[in-house]
């Protein structure tokens, strides 16, 4: 079964200014049922790494959401007083029932979007993507809008593994592709040493657009922006998912599948600005942050900085 855990103030600590100079002073703790209408930021944890375990990865990402919160709370707040940031707690996976966790995530995301908020989901394994995507789709269908959703994945892996023998953290986009036509999927940072030949064949058969890691570098930013903009033109809404194992372990040692061969933060920040400026971004998540293997909270700080960057770039 899946459990819902309420947000706790223990995850939001830091310097006290008395004037909301830091995000831990800005944050408000609510339950999904208390969601106010309006264009506010909604932080939701996906405390589940059952998919990582099934995919033979390093477990520990279930504790990622709280690690990211603790680093985010210490960061400065530059938002306007009227711009609200809510923490809606965690969806937790119990008894290995990842599917129930994904289903609850989907319903919660749909509800948050129905209220007009902007969800930021903190994972958790990359199986978060299946529930997250379906929540977005549910919201758009209930709003009588065509669910033309583009997925942009910053990742070393396609996560297009066949789910014939069960789903895991490596199958979410294959599952989405099989349930949605057309399937719009852009992967940035794909590594040849992290995906077998069959996965490249699957990506080709599904008409996936991808940029290899050796090209996903800041010196090729103009070309990469062109590819992103071309992808954005094909869809009405964009869902961004950032897998922390896509970054080099020099920046993100605390992930479920860390490698020194990943990309750097600067290229991701530039791409996010391009995506945000399109005004099509509907929701974001961060996956595979594993505090068990983190060093000096380096990966949690990077994940928190990505969230900080996003909320300060998106207009209310």
Residues making up the annotated binding site for Mn(2+) are: 126, 155, 157, 159, 243, 245
Tokens of 119: 């969800």
Peptide bond preceding 182: is omega within 30 degrees of 0, i.e. cis?
yes
- Residues of the binding site: 126, 155, 157, 159, 243, 245
Q: Residues near 25 by Cβ (< 8 Å), separated by ≥ 6? A: 14, 16, 17, 18, 19, 77
Tokens of 298: 């380096």
Residues 89 and 102: their CA atoms lie apart, in Å, by: 15
């Amino acid at each position: 079964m899946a459990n819902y855990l309420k947000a706790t103030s223990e995850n939001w600590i830091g310097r006290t200014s008395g004037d909301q100079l830091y995000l831990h002073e800005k944050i408000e703790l609510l339950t999904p049922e208390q969601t106010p209408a309006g264009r506010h930021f909604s932080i939701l944890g996906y405390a589940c790494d059952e998919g990582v375990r099934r995919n033979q990865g390093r477990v520990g990402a279930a504790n990622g959401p709280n690690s990211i919160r603790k680093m985010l709370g210490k960061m400065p707040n530059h938002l306007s007083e009227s711009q609200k940031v809510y923490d809606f707690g965690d969806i937790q996976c119990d008894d290995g029932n990842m599917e129930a966790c994904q289903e609850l995530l989907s319903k919660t995301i749909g509800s948050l979007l129905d209220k007009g908020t902007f969800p930021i989901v903190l994972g958790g394994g990359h199986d978060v993507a299946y529930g997250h995507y379906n929540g977005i789709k549910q919201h758009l269908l209930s709003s009588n809008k065509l669910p033309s959703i583009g997925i942009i994945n910053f990742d070393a892996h396609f996560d297009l593994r066949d789910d014939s023998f069960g789903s895991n953290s490596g199958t979410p986009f294959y599952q989405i592709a099989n349930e949605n036509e057309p399937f719009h999927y852009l992967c940035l940072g794909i590594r040849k040493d992290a995906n077998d030949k069959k996965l490249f064949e699957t990506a080709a058969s599904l008409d996936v657009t991808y940029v290899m890691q050796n090209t996903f570098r800041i010196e090729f930013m103009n070309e990469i922006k062109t590819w992103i903009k071309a992808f954005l033109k094909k869809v009405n809404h964009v869902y961004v998912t950032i897998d922390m194992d896509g970054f080099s372990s020099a920046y993100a040692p605390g992930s479920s599948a860390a490698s020194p061969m990943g990309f750097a933060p600067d290229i991701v920040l530039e791409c996010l600005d391009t995506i945000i400026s399109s005004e099509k971004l509907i929701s974001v998540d961060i996956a595979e942050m594993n505090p068990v293997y983190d060093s000096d909270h380096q990966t949690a700080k990077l994940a928190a900085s990505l969230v900080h960057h996003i909320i300060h770039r998106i207009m209310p």
